[in-house]
Amino acid sequence: MTDNSGSDKAVRPNSGAAQRSGTPSARSSDAAPKPGANPRTAGVPKPGAPKPGPAKKPAKPAPLPGPAQEHPHPVVVPTVTDPGKWGRIDENGTVWVRTAEGEREIGSWQAGDVAEGLAHFGHRFDDLATEVALLEARLAAGTDARKTKAAAVALAETLPTAAVIGDIDGLAQRLQAIADHSDEAAQHAKEEKERTRHEHTERKEALCAEAEQIAADSTQWKAAGDRLREILDEWKTIRGVDRKVDDALWRRFSKAREAFNRRRGAHFAELDRERAAAKARKEDLCVRAEELSDSTDWVGTAAVFRDLLTEWKAAGRAPREADEQLWRRFKGAQDIFFAARNAAASERDAEFGQNAAAKEELLRAFEDRIPERIDTDSAALESARAALRELQERWDAIGKVPRERMHELEGKLRAMEKRVREAVDAQWRRTDPEAVARAAQFRERVAQFEEQAAKARAGGRTRDAEKALEQAEQWREWAAAAEGAVSRR
């Protein structure tokens, strides 16, 4: 709605009603006139004038719901910056307001100058304009259009007798517009309420369907239980559903929750039975482990403990406290056995360390008897072979060494054995002329075929040359194989 007064726009707080307007200037000694009062008795009475009769108060608009009458937008109402446009105060102090029907006397002003009087009655008009703006805001917000219309009609009835200066006709038009649009707003509110009811019904139906799905097949017991509680919390926030429909949906939801709780209870009852069986199996495993705890069959018993641990894992979980207690028993038996085995291993490692030192000393003692280069004459070779046999016998007599030293020491022994073996092979190759001759014969055949290939190429016989080269390559491979056989002996 627009204000026809032509005055500036200003935001003013709700004054409550026209009858609660502020007092006139401090120079005024009488009460300010109230809207709806007799125009001849409103304001400060003239000398000798009759006493004013009781003023008729305008009907108050219905209060807005919610804290502090909140609105989606601030209420903007016009301020009468030029009350002289809409009214006047004559030389006798009589106050007049101009309307479409002409001037109307609204009271008397004797408390100050004319400007103050006009401002006073202009502020009263502002209070009425604020009331109208609040009703417009209520209508725009969809707040009980029926009550808004009733308040607008009641306020419109006070305008013909309102002791205010301003665009009263404009306020009347705005109030009429509020009344005219209230029915439409009421219908819209009804449709909106029906739409909201439909949406809320659909939401509750969806929650019912979800609860029924959870009750039917969910095995995520904690997550499903938490979700059902969330559904219940959301259910409580959904309002406006038809009572009969709401009751039916609530029965569906309650039935789904009860079904889920029964299925969950059956699951945990079965789980309790399984845990009781697991407890019995683990008690038996504890007894068997305790019987093995003092065994000295380190390898065999360690393997049995590994099998028992596999059975333990396959047995499942016992009740929490019992499971923890049984595990301490089982692990305690394990720890006793493996602590004894580790102690024995430590003692054995100390012995193995002494063996390693003895083998190192033995290798140093035989370095001169089995040198890096062994002469292949019969006497030197036989001496090296005898030294190797003695070394091997004494080596085996010393015994085992720590695992981390085994590769190093065995490598040094294998190196000495290789020296002797290579010296023996070299001597044998020298004493086997037949194998050497065979290799030389193959090499001679290679030379013959290469010579044939050269002659064929010189004579332009390319195919003969290629064939001869192929045969030469074949004999070369045989020669290499024969020479390799000789070297490996």
- The predicted-structure confidence for 10-27, as pLDDT tens digits, reads as follows 333 333 333 333 333 333
Within a 13 Å sphere around the CA of 291, how many CA atoms are in the beta-carbon half? 8
CA distance 3 to 128: 12
Beta-bridge partners for 96: 88, 105
The first and second tokens of residue 191, run together, are 């449709």
Cross-sheet strand order for the sheet of 102-108: 87-89, 94-99, 102-108
- Evaluate whether 415 touches 391 at the Cβ level (below 8 Å): no
59: Cβ–Cβ under 8 A, 6 or more apart, which residues? Answer: 151, 154, 155, 157, 158
pLDDT given for residue 381 in this prediction: 79
Name the band, by pLDDT with cuts 50, 70 and 90, for residue 431.
low
Name the band, by pLDDT with cuts 50, 70 and 90, for residue 248.
very high
Cα pseudo-dihedral 273, 276, 282, 284, rounded to 10: -110
32: Cβ–Cβ under 8 A, 6 or more apart, which residues? Answer: 21, 22, 23, 24, 43, 120, 124
CA distance 22 to 75: 20
Query: Poorest-confidence range of 47-51, 327-331, 467-471?
Result: 47-51
DSSP string, 225-267: HHHHHHHHHHHHH-----HHHHHHHHHHHHHHHHHHHHHHHHH
Q: What predicted TM-score, i.e. pTM, was given to this entire model?
A: 0.38
pLDDT given for residue 433 in this prediction: 62
CA distance 330 to 312: 9
- What is the residue-averaged pLDDT of the chain? 78
pLDDT given for residue 151 in this prediction: 92
CA distance 325 to 332: 11
pLDDT given for residue 74 in this prediction: 44
pLDDT given for residue 117 in this prediction: 86
Beta-bridge partners for 107: 95
| Residue 3 dihedral angles phi and psi, to the nearest 5° | -90, 125
| Residue 106 dihedral angles phi and psi, to the nearest 5° | -120, -10
Name the band, by pLDDT with cuts 50, 70 and 90, for residue 51.
very low
- Evaluate whether 30 touches 43 at the Cβ level (below 8 Å): yes
Within a 13 Å sphere around the CA of 128, how many CA atoms are in the beta-carbon half? 35
Within a 13 Å sphere around the CA of 72, how many CA atoms are in the beta-carbon half? 8
pLDDT given for residue 332 in this prediction: 93
CA distance 138 to 140: 5
Helix (H, G, I), strand (E, B) or coil at 82: coil
- The predicted-structure confidence for 199-223, as pLDDT tens digits, reads as follows 999 999 999 999 999 999 888 989 9
- The predicted-structure confidence for 218-228, as pLDDT tens digits, reads as follows 889 899 999 99
- Evaluate whether 148 touches 189 at the Cβ level (below 8 Å): no
| Residue 95 dihedral angles phi and psi, to the nearest 5° | -100, 130
First-to-last alpha carbon distance for the chain, in angstroms, is 121
DSSP string, 276-345: HHHHHHHHHHHHHHHHHTT---HHHHHHHHHHHHHHHHHT----HHHHHHHHHHHHHHHHHHHHHHHHHH
